[in-house]
Amino acid sequence: MHCCGRIVPDSQLYDKELNQNLNSTSLFLETSRLGGIGQRIPLDLTNVSDYSLFPGQIAVLKGRNPTGSSFVVQEICSLPSLGSHVSSKQELEQYQEQVGEGGLKILIASGPYSNAHTLDFTKMNKLVERINTVSKPHVVLLFGPFIDINHNAVAQGDIELKNEKHQPQDYNDLFQKTISQCLKKVGSKNTSDIDTIFARCLHKASLIPSRFL
């Protein structure tokens, strides 16, 4: 039979901070209220040669309970993955072929990506160029701010871009004409994933400068 429950010590006075050691004769299995009315039963681990148990651990045990006084464990079953993705052999082989012998290469950068006084994103373009020609990472992780809420030009409502025929009308539009265009240039064949983490970015608020109202 199989039994599922939580590993507990034989005494409620057990305190791990006092370095009290557990052994094979001091372990109980506490069943769930639905499956076993929360009852506790001593575990007989004589037939198990190798095991690792700790108080609070959820365990599935295979065994028998011939006398009702203890559960004779024959096998400690492995718990299934809790909703985690399990890669197939083919996916693992494709991953290994992609990363090669050097392993996974990750590039991490943090904003702001423009000058302090003007909305000039030359630095962002240089970063993208380096990603494509020098670093060639498999994963790019970019932290904000992309359009800093504390930027001087933003504070003054000056979001005009040089050499831009159609000027941005709001901060979301500004993001599309600057940051989005830079990210679209990431063209390294090694790079398969680009993640952006927004922090202190104004464009998500969809605010419009007063002079455009």
DSSP characters for 50-89?
S----TT-EEEEEEE-SSSS-EEEEEEEPPPPSS-----H
100-201 maps to CATH 1.50.10.10: no
Q: What's the confidence (pLDDT) of residue 212?
A: 27
Q: Are strands 2-9 and 58-64 parallel, antiparallel or unpaired?
A: antiparallel
Confidence of residue 203 (pLDDT cuts 50, 70, 90): low
* Residue ranges of domains in the chain: 2-77, 100-201
Say if 2-77 and 100-201 have the same CATH topology: no
2-77 maps to CATH 1.20.5: no
Mean pLDDT of the chain: 79
Q: What's the confidence (pLDDT) of residue 72?
A: 93
pLDDT in tens, 85-134: 777 888 888 878 877 777 888 889 888 888 878 888 888 899 999 999 99
Neighbours of 110 (CB within 10 A): 12
What pairs with residue 148 in β-bridges? Answer: 201
Is-contact 79 58, C-beta < 8 A?
yes
Q: Are strands 40-44 and 27-31 parallel, antiparallel or unpaired?
A: antiparallel
- Give the whole-angstrom CA distance, residue 184 versus residue 137: 16
Q: What's the confidence (pLDDT) of residue 199?
A: 62
Confidence of residue 71 (pLDDT cuts 50, 70, 90): very high
